[in-house]
Amino acid sequence: MRRKKRPVRRLRKRRKAPRTNQQKALDYQMGYEDGYRQGQEAGAGSYSIYFDGTSIIIPSLNQAEKLKACMQSIAEHTDLPYEIIVVDRGSTDDTDKLLKQMTGQIRYFIMEHGDNSRAAAINRGLMMAKGTTLLIMDSCAQATEYWLDQLLYGLSGCGQAGIVGPMSNGGSGRQRKLLAVEAPDETTYSTPNLFVPSNKWAETDSLDSFCILFHRALWENTGYWDERFTAGRFAMEDYCYRVVLQGWRLLIAEDAYVVYNGDGGDGADSLESDQTEQVNRLWFQDKWSGNGPALRSDAEAANAALEGKPAGETVFYPQGIAVKGTGSSIYWIEGGKRHLIEGNWPYPVVQLSNIEIKRWQRGPSINASIMRDPRSQMEGNAACPQPGTVSYSPDGSCYYFEDGQKRKVLSRAASEAWLLYGRTHVSWVPQTMETLPDGYPIIAPASLRQSL
């Protein structure tokens, strides 16, 4: 007789006790912290990874329609690798809607109301940029055929080219070129087939800021724009001064053309009152003390000393000073290196950007306990000026003594920025000063009003 199969007895799964709200919250917090840590590690790992292309930085203020046309023209006339970074300066029109619609196609940053100057917007874009070349473009500008190709030809084809700008109907001086054919109801712009690689480059003393291109290396050597200049043209002129001082050249690509469709750039000029203009002019004069024409000779001297390789801006900074970036670390600058100061440092510190701090190579750390206040660490000796002391020539010029050299402090603004006014003074002895070689002049660093 056939035996019946007994049914297999299945084991019952023991139910887990339901998770309490406290356990759920704990699991969520652990997952959040783990994800945040992984995100930080991934971000830090890719921070210094750049792509071989151009970061196009567009500061904009209440120019939604023109900004849209600007980005469309870039997409239509640019075949080379690029990214677009829009920095909105607190617009009250439809700019925010436009930027949100473009999410995934561009990167953007919306500045809070406060210090939203053009220089501050440019600096934010520079910090975000990932390209090996960087381009600053007004939202009122529009690209034309081969525009970026020609600018890049000028940047790479001309020795020691620092900044390159195009021709434009809105340019000034040698950059101005009218190619527009005006109709009653609209304006069309013709960019004939003349714009092919032709090596048409012209050196200039200044450039308009509506469209400028430069290598990342130049920015790393020069640093951020000076945010004390709230007027765009003074910020641009200041940056050109700093670039020329290092031995770089300013060029016009005469075969590149950008159309300009505005009377106030990115909206900045329309908001700049006469009072603002005057304040910026006074600050510019105070920073450079009318030394613009002398910059060429200083640049040539810098080039000769460095065998033709453009100098970084830190060679125009003093040594024997304490500096810090956005972090808590304080460094002592000596011998062309930054030395981490360990322990409590109660003396004055000069605030710089992180990109400036990184230009100095790391040296061995030093303990704060063996350091003395740089304002009173030595007695003045006119016969043999000690490093870190200052003296004033008969014409009122300030000189800083360092490594057996005398370095002219270019302006009162530079003296104040580096806290040199509190240093030990020595008498000016002509016989002694004539024997001391001249070092690089000392300039004021860029002033930043945001943490970069």
Q: What is the pLDDT of residues 92-111, one digit of tens each?
A: 999 999 999 999 999 999 99
* Out of 55-59, 182-186, 205-209, 340-344, least confident range: 182-186
Per DSSP bridges, beta strands 131-137 and 390-392 are unpaired
* Out of 110-124, 191-205, 324-338, 369-383, least confident range: 191-205
Separation between Cα atoms, residue 206 and residue 174, nearest integer Å: 10
Whether residue 119 has pLDDT greater than 80: yes
Residues in the chain, total: 452
> Across residues 217-240, what is the average pLDDT?
93
Confidence of residue 297 (pLDDT cuts 50, 70, 90): low
Question: What rounded mean pLDDT belongs to the chain?
Answer: 84
pLDDT for 380 equals 56
Cβ neighbours around 309 below 10 Å, total: 12
Structural domains of the chain sorted by starting position, each given as residue range(s) with its CATH number in brackets: 51-293 (3.90.550.10), 308-370 (3.30.2390)
Q: What is the pLDDT of residues 318-338, one digit of tens each?
A: 999 999 999 999 999 999 999
pLDDT for 270 equals 47
Separation between Cα atoms, residue 279 and residue 284, nearest integer Å: 9
Whether residue 124 has pLDDT greater than 90: yes
End-to-end CA distance of the chain: 91
> Across residues 258-269, what is the average pLDDT?
65
- The H-or-E segment that residue 369 falls in is none
pLDDT for 258 equals 95
pLDDT for 24 equals 60
Please report, rounded to a whole number, the percentage of residues in the chain having pLDDT higher than 90.
Answer: 57
The pTM (predicted TM-score) of the whole model is: 0.83
pLDDT for 8 equals 61
Whether residue 121 has pLDDT greater than 60: yes
Residue environment code for 14-39, b if the CB has 16+ CB neighbours within 10 A, otherwise e: eeeeeeeeeeeeeeeeeeeeeeeeee
Please report, rounded to a whole number, the percentage of residues in the chain having pLDDT higher than 70.
Answer: 76
CB 338 within 8 A of CB 323: yes
pLDDT for 372 equals 83
Whether residue 182 has pLDDT greater than 60: no
pLDDT for 312 equals 85
* Out of 145-159, 220-234, 242-256, 365-379, least confident range: 365-379
pLDDT for 186 equals 40
> Across residues 245-252, what is the average pLDDT?
91
Highest mean pLDDT among 2-6, 50-54, 305-309: 50-54
CB 49 within 8 A of CB 125: no
Separation between Cα atoms, residue 301 and residue 440, nearest integer Å: 8
Separation between Cα atoms, residue 126 and residue 343, nearest integer Å: 34
CB 311 within 8 A of CB 301: no
Whether residue 20 has pLDDT greater than 80: no
pLDDT for 379 equals 59
Confidence of residue 265 (pLDDT cuts 50, 70, 90): very low
Compute φ and ψ for 257, nearest 5 degrees: -135, 135
Q: How far is CA 43 from CA 49, 113, 368, 423, in A?
A: 10, 27, 34, 42
pLDDT for 221 equals 94
